Amino acid sequence: MPVGEHWYAIYVVSNHEKRVEFHLKMRGIEVFLPLLTISKRWKNRTNVTIQKPLFPSYVFAKIALRDKVQVLEVPRVLSIAGTGGKPMPLPEEEFEILRQGLDQRQVDPHPYVKVGDRARICRGPLAGLEGIVVRKDRHLRIVLSVDLIMRSIAVHVTPEEIEALPVEVPAAC
């Protein structure tokens, strides 16, 4: 297991991400909760702007693994994402690029995908991240996936900002 502080995906009760974020901050834990601003029109024709988590049911926390009990004791925290019942840290470099780049781009939630044409963003604030190229509303987007929590987001890009990655050929049996 890794030593020192790393970013972990904390799985929480749905629609309680902001409350968990507040409790973690009160305990002195560094937290990251990316939010998506959405304009809604209610039935009474009132327009409101709300903020929803970009990754529903997940809050990210930077902790040392020895401090996981401090996180798990927070109300409405269900678990720390991982494999085989063991918490797994998020890839540090990719997470930092994603964290810093989200404020500088328009992003939308996207269904989790794992197959398709892969590309790497080669320019801009998200440079270095890889994803799957898709088209939506005549605009080019790249879908970035966080495999550990099985969530994806779609980011607007221009063709000049991405480079194609070689297609992986499956090995013969």
100 shares its domain with 138: yes
Please list the pLDDT of the chain residue by residue as tens digits (173 residues).
456 899 999 999 999 999 999 999 999 999 999 998 888 888 888 999 989 998 999 999 999 999 899 999 999 999 999 988 899 999 988 888 888 888 777 787 765 654 457 788 888 888 888 888 887 666 778 888 888 888 888 888 877 787 777 766 555 54
- Residue 1 confidence (pLDDT): 46
Q: In this structure, how many other beta carbons lie within 10 angstroms of the beta carbon of residue 11? A: 16
2 shares its domain with 82: yes
- Residue 167 confidence (pLDDT): 64
- Residue 170 confidence (pLDDT): 55
As beta bridge partners, residue 62 has: 7, 30
- Burial (CB count <10 Å: 0-12, 13-18, 19+), residue 171: exposed
- Residue 110 confidence (pLDDT): 65
- Residue 111 confidence (pLDDT): 59
Q: Which of 55, 129, 144, 120 is nearest to 97 (CA)?
A: 129
Q: H-helix or E-strand containing 173? A: none
Q: H-helix or E-strand containing 71? A: helix 68-72
- Residue 137 confidence (pLDDT): 66
111 shares its domain with 80: no
- Residue 10 confidence (pLDDT): 96
107 shares its domain with 145: yes
Computed on alpha carbons and rounded to an integer, the radius of gyration of the chain in Å comes to 18
In total, how many domains does the chain have?
2
- Residue 64 confidence (pLDDT): 94
113 shares its domain with 146: yes
- Residue 115 confidence (pLDDT): 45
What token pair was written down for 145?
A: 């996936």
Task: Please give the C-alpha separations between residue 76 and each of 10, 19, 35, 47, 164, in angstroms, as whole numbers.
Answer: 10, 8, 19, 30, 41
108 shares its domain with 85: no
Q: In this structure, how many other beta carbons lie within 10 angstroms of the beta carbon of residue 138? A: 5
As beta bridge partners, residue 79 has: 11
Buried b (16+ CB within 10 A) or exposed e, 39-73: eeeeeeeeeeeeeebbbebbbbbbbebeebeebee
DSSP state of 105: S
7 shares its domain with 86: yes
Segments forming the whole domain that contains residue 156? 91-173
